[in-house]
Structure 1
């Protein structure tokens, strides 16, 4: 038997929700500020920084929804059933399109590990189709390359992590020397 919820309980839940919203906005603001500061210190492109900010927004929204459901006392069994059904459908869709998930994951790995940067000349060691080109842009799903002949190539991020890659320089005077 469930007890009736009083106005006081609604007030507490409403106040808790307002506090949770404020905390999530403040937390999101500081996380994005920290991400932008890190990207600036690491000399990362604005595009890559915006991409990570979008991922942070998605994560924070999902986290807020979980907290919101907890505050309002949603039945855990029903919530688990909804989430498991939703994740099963998403899982089947991603399994059918595994390359999309693979490229997104690779884009995140490239953002944080940055083995090469925009402007670098790279050589992709592929026995069937070797490529030597300059990195024009690194996006969530693919990297845009420009060959010496001016040809634009869209290369999947997952293949960049699977293939052996060398960073090459075009001119000897572009090399950096360290003491």
Structure 2
């Protein structure tokens, strides 16, 4: 058999997968941009969601390429579980990081609070009223009426009741 045609099918399928991945990325990026424009969401928050979406897309298409090239998934799963075990030990609070990232996505798509909103966090121990200054992948920043800058993990914001006192006029 001619050596130049040994991996012809794998190369063709890889090219198709890469083109498909680029098309999916294009549509996902445009959909997120349109959604963030309609909901008046800050560009920094949009970037976080785009990066998280791209990470998921790359992992899915990486698995597709691995299947195309005939990677033994038993050996690959052992390798990935070893890497995840090392990361799990390195990031002792791995579940906390993931919950904050997940809460960030939920805040982006489904929560009415926006940067510039004036809110009150309903907590029996503290009376926190102020303006939302920033919402990142992990933290929610509020400047209180007393001028204090308070940060909350996004996962904690999802657990608290929030009264929206007013939204920033754009």
TM-score range, shorter chain: 0.7 to 0.9
User: Does structure 1 conserve the Cα–Cα contact (< 8 Å) formed by 2:130 and 2:143?
Assistant: yes
RMSD over equivalenced CA pairs, Å = 2.3
Alignment of 1:117 with 2:142, yes or no, is no
How far residue 142 of structure 1 moved from its aligned partner, in angstroms, is 0.7
User: Does structure 2 conserve the Cα–Cα contact (< 8 Å) formed by 1:119 and 1:136?
Assistant: yes
Relative to structure 1, is the Cα distance of residues 61 and 157 closer, same or farther in structure 2, using a 3 angstrom cutoff?
same
User: Does structure 1 conserve the Cα–Cα contact (< 8 Å) formed by 2:88 and 2:94?
Assistant: no
Any residues of structure 2 matched to 1:23-102 within 5 Å, and which? 23-93=20-90, 96-102=93-99
Q: Unmatched 5+ residue regions in structure 1?
A: 175-179
Moved beyond 4 Å, runs of 4+? 91-95
| Aligned equivalent of 1:177 | none
User: Does structure 2 conserve the Cα–Cα contact (< 8 Å) formed by 1:103 and 1:157?
Assistant: yes
TM-score by length of 2: 0.86
State the Cα deviation string for residues 131-160 of structure 1 (Å, max 9, x = none): 101111111111111112322222221111
Alignment of 1:16 with 2:13, yes or no, is yes
Report which structure shows greater RCO (CA 8 Å, sep ≥6): 2
State the Cα deviation string for residues 1-60 of structure 1 (Å, max 9, x = none): xxx995423122112212211111121111111111111112211111111110111111
SS of structure 1 residue aligned to 2:133: strand
| Aligned equivalent of 1:129 | 126
TM-score by length of 1: 0.82
Q: Unmatched 5+ residue regions in structure 2?
A: none
State the Cα deviation string for residues 56-105 of structure 1 (Å, max 9, x = none): 11111111210111111111221222223333444455553432222112
Relative to structure 1, is the Cα distance of residues 49 and 5 closer, same or farther in structure 2, using a 3 angstrom cutoff?
farther
Any residues of structure 2 matched to 1:158-169 within 5 Å, and which? 158-169=155-166
Aligned length, in residue pairs: 168
